[in-house]
Chains A and B, each alone.
Chain A
Amino acid sequence: MNDRRPTRPMIEVEGLHKHFGDNHVLRGIDLAIAAGEVVCVIGPSGSGKSTLLRCINHLEVAEQGRIRIDGELAYATEKRGVFRPHSNRAIAAVRAQLGMVFQHFNLFPHLTAMGNIIEAPVHVLGKPKDLARKRARELLTQVGLADKEDAYPEELSGGQQQRVAIARALAMDPKAMLMDEVTSALDPELVAEVLATMRDLAAQGMTMLVVTHEMNFARQVSSRVIFMDQGMIVEEDSPEHIFGAPRERRTRDFLRTVLER
């Protein structure tokens, strides 16, 4: 499907711990995602899925653990076992390599769809405006919104806004996409259009880490499913195994409750 070596690790997480006050939300997460892989993270709310995603691009700062993006240690430098946190600029540079899509879209309301998409390529990467616009039009076409470039976010439906948000993240040519419950805030009839966009993206070989409650998407699109509970990875396996024959009791219980609805 693509010429990337399937074994090259794009995102590696090692021994990640995170507290919110007394609440130990991540209790030692180890995870490796290869280039081109689509990994879905499922689990009950409060299990730490979103926090894990937010730690990977440093929107939350983990107290312990290492994160590597495309083989490079991110957000800190290690010298003889001692870690030194990166400067804000260096952190921003790592984030620029990761696309993130949020539950509540978080489009910039004062900019048009076009403005949202070219903002970071122009002002972070220093891309010439005309090139950024050309690429933005391609991306809008890809997400099915070629006629919406002049629309402001509040003139768009939730599903359209989320597709613009995906295009905005793609405009940075990210090495991987982090998607945080991107369909949870949408009206049911708008979910399908966003999932279709994500399927296309997966088919193009984009590396994706997707926190989701859409079990059908996880089952059909992902190369691997991770089940998280209480800040730990309980089980990870192919979708066939997770949904067909989960090994862990907690996985079975969770899937029973969500699939019964």
Chain B
Amino acid sequence: MEIFNVEIALRNFGPLLAGLMLTIELTFVVIAISLVFALLVALGGMSRFAPLRWLVKVYVEAIRGTPLLLQLIYVYYVLPEIGIRLNSFTAGVLALTLNYSAYLSEVYRGGIQAIARGQHDAAAALGMPRMLAMRRIILPQAIRVVIPALGNYFISLFKDTALCSVVSIQEVVFTAQILAARNFQYFTLYTVVGIMYLAVSFPAARLVAYLERLTKAGYRRRRS
């Protein structure tokens, strides 16, 4: 069995770190877009306009019923056949955003539906039209409810970006594959990659746990 080779680890640390940075960049771009897009999907799913509700339902079911890997391949290799040619990064962002938005929209929907009927009644009784009540009263409370769930999805997104190697994005796993193909130091390289993932995901999980405690603490005055 090969042993961990410190020299190899150090020599390849630079390119691997560059790969990790791309992984993180990909994660943040997808988070930023899907936070907004998923909310629109959730609101569309609750619309009074039936065709919009059906469209949302078809989209969510199609995404949830197929593998993310297939969705990535589809966006990168099949869309060009109908004239939509995307570079690797854009294809990865598009597929991941479509995938995660479907799941996140369900999270938002759950959060919105968790808000008590009395809140809708009170807003309506004050003369607030439906969308104003949604924006000012319901969503601020719902988002607070779903923050921990969103956080956990984002951690799993961070790990799922590894699948983007199939569309040739040189994120950290793909970088390690390329390096290992040259020097055959699988143990060392993939161990470094594993540690890199943990170095990000472990603190992120602690942060989510902290946010969860914070959101459960209720609404109180902050005393300084």
- B-binding residues in A (CB < 8 A): 57, 59, 88-89, 92-93, 95-100, 102, 104, 106-110, 112, 119-120, 123-124, 150-155, 168-169, 172
Which residues of B lie under 8 Å from residue A124 when comparing CB positions? 126-128, 132
B126 and A109 form a contact (CB under 8 A):
no
B182 at the interface (CB under 8 A from A): no
> Can you list 24 residue pairs at the A/B interface with Cβ under 8 Å?
A57-B125, A59-B121, A92-B124, A93-B127, A95-B127, A96-B127, A100-B125, A102-B121, A102-B122, A106-B116, A106-B118, A106-B122, A108-B122, A108-B141, A110-B144, A112-B221, A119-B126, A124-B132, A152-B220, A154-B219, A154-B220, A155-B220, A155-B221, A169-B126
Which residues of A lie under 8 Å from residue B219 when comparing CB positions? 109-110, 152-154
- A-binding residues in B (CB < 8 A): 116, 118-119, 121-130, 132, 136-137, 140-141, 144, 218-221
Which residues of B lie under 8 Å from residue A97 when comparing CB positions? 127
B127 and A119 form a contact (CB under 8 A):
no
B221's contact among A59, A123, A151, by CB below 8 Å, is which?
Answer: A151
B119 and A123 form a contact (CB under 8 A):
no
A95 to B136, CA, bound (A): 18
Known contacts A102-B118, A106-B116, then 11 further A-B pairs from the complex at CB < 8 Å, ordered by chain A residue = A89-B129, A102-B122, A108-B119, A108-B122, A108-B137, A109-B141, A109-B218, A124-B127, A154-B219, A172-B126, A172-B127
Q: Min CB distance, A1 to chain B, in Å?
A: 27
Interface centre among B123, B124, B127 (most CB of A within 10 A): B127
Q: Min CB distance, A71 to chain B, in Å?
A: 19
B126's contact among A88, A104, A153, A168, by CB below 8 Å, is which?
Answer: A168
Which residues of B lie under 8 Å from residue A98 when comparing CB positions? 125
A119 to B137, CA, bound (A): 9
Which residues of A lie under 8 Å from residue B220 when comparing CB positions? 152, 154-155
A123 and B132 form a contact (CB under 8 A):
yes
B137 and A95 form a contact (CB under 8 A):
no
